[in-house]
Amino acid sequence: MLIIAIETSADETAAALTNGRKVLSNVIYSQILLHKKWGGIYPSLAKRAHEERIDWVVEETLRKFYSQVILGSEATPESLLDSGRPRRNVGVARMTRGIDKIDYIAVTQGPGLAVALEVGIKKAKELAQKYNKKLIAVNHLEGHIYSCFVQNSNGNPKRDFKFPYLALIISGGHTEIVLFRDHIKYQVLGETRDDAAGEALDKAAKMLGLGYPGGPVMERLASEANNRDFYRFPRPMLHSRNLDFSFSGLKTSFYYFLKKNSATSEVKNIRKLASSYQAAVFDTIVAKMDLAIKQTEINRLIVGGGVIANLHLRKLLRNLVRKYKGKVYFPSFKYLTGDNAAMIGVAAYYKANKKLFSDSNSLDRIPRYSLSQF
């Protein structure tokens, strides 16, 4: 089943061509440089950048795939997939014939930045109308969940589904623990009451003058301090019996620590600060997952979202599941941790199997779209 998927919920303009769980072609245009100096996503800039790039991103996704196959008049989707090496480039006319072979158009409907989501949805509707294709609306968070099952074009990794799973989504906008019962069946068990985990890292990095996004630079500095915890910042909600998170208290205490100790050499040791702060965030995540395993007796974890690019956190979660003789799965390729359309295409495949299509006229963005709405 060939699906072209579009994702514009935040600061990545992305499209992908998928066949079931396989990614045939994937293009991500990141706006990070654009937003860097604002220390976060600047909505009107994001909207304009999505509008400027969306056509190119979709065309490039198709071109990348169809330039690798010979587009004969007898070509079927299967023969296109099976044919081998690149022979020659295809022009726009041939590409348009390519899109004709696609079964469905998928798009992120939410949650996310409204003005950004609208750009992708508009493009998806346009394509659906022009080529008479059905639309599949995907929740961005179910995309992050399915990111752990995305395969490359050769069908690797071969990872079978074995439900149920505990899914953890940790990104710049979300921190959620979800019971993933079966395909397209979710129950939110816990979520953040304020800042998301990635946002907490981004805000601390900003206070330290490290720029945006903060996660990768905090990871590097923390590893240079051997990921040790020097200052023991607070771990909010750690001892509550529910699975919700809160990171804003930690952020505030970090702010006051910096302010109070601004004259001392302690505060100048940015590695110790980054390492201790990251330890507080990750400790909280691991403790909540520990509680989730105990409460649900599910020891198979999947983790998606930008923060799981962090190798130290991966190690902590591997140690956690070892305690329960369980398993933890991460997205197999780095590009799948951040926002991308490949995960949207794969989630859409499982929705198509259940005939969960959307009507083009009523498909609208839903900025605060919870997985509980399923």
Contacting positions for ligand KG4 (CB under 6 A):
10, 171-173, 198-199, 201-202, 213-216, 219, 305-307, 309-310, 338-339
13 binds Zn ion (CB under 5 A): no
Contact 16, 25 (CB under 8 A): yes
Residue 19, binding choice from ligand KG4, Zn ion, none, Cβ under 5 to 8 Å by partner class: none
Stretch that binds Zn ion, among 29-37, 57-65, 316-324, 337-345 (CB under 5 A): 337-345
Query: Whole-angstrom Cα distance, residue 343 to residue 86?
Result: 25
Tell me whether residue 216 or residue 326 sits nearer to ligand KG4 (CB atom).
Answer: 216
CB 14 to ligand KG4: min, Å: 10
Candidate list 171, 227, 299, 358; residue touching Zn ion; CB under 5 A: 171
**Helical segments of the chain, H only:** 32-36, 43-66, 77-82, 92-100, 114-131, 140-146, 197-207, 215-224, 248-260, 265-268, 270-296, 311-323, 342-353
| Antiparallel, parallel or unpaired: β 22-30 and 104-110 | unpaired
Query: Whole-angstrom Cα distance, residue 47 to residue 41?
Result: 10
Query: Whole-angstrom Cα distance, residue 231 to residue 260?
Result: 14
Count CB atoms within 10 A of the CB of residue 83. 14
67 binds Zn ion (CB under 5 A): no
Residue nearest to Zn ion (CB): 171
Query: Whole-angstrom Cα distance, residue 196 to residue 307?
Result: 10
Residue 5, binding choice from Zn ion, ligand KG4, none, Cβ under 5 to 8 Å by partner class: none
Structure tokens at 121: 């949805």
175 binds Zn ion (CB under 5 A): no
Binding mask 75-114 for Zn ion (x = CB under 5 A): ----------------------------------------
Tell me whether residue 191 or residue 202 sits nearer to ligand KG4 (CB atom).
Answer: 202
Residue type at 121 in one-letter notation: I
CA distances from 104 to 27, 127, 303, 311 (A): 18, 10, 27, 35
Tell me whether residue 201 or residue 344 sits nearer to ligand KG4 (CB atom).
Answer: 201
Stretch that binds Zn ion, among 246-254, 261-269, 331-339, 355-363 (CB under 5 A): 331-339
25 binds Zn ion (CB under 5 A): no
CB 1 to ligand KG4: min, Å: 26
Residue 309, binding choice from Zn ion, ligand KG4, none, Cβ under 5 to 8 Å by partner class: ligand KG4
Tell me whether residue 102 or residue 221 sits nearer to ligand KG4 (CB atom).
Answer: 221
Q: What is the DSSP letter of 16?
A: E
Residue 239: which residues within 8 A CB-CB, separation 6 or more?
none
Q: How many residues bind Zn ion (CB under 5 A)?
A: 2
339 binds Zn ion (CB under 5 A): yes
Query: Whole-angstrom Cα distance, residue 252 to residue 248?
Result: 6
Residue 219, binding choice from ligand KG4, Zn ion, none, Cβ under 5 to 8 Å by partner class: ligand KG4
Displacement of CA 109 from its chain's centroid (Å): 14
Residue type at 28 in one-letter notation: I
Binding site for Zn ion (CB under 5 A): 171, 339
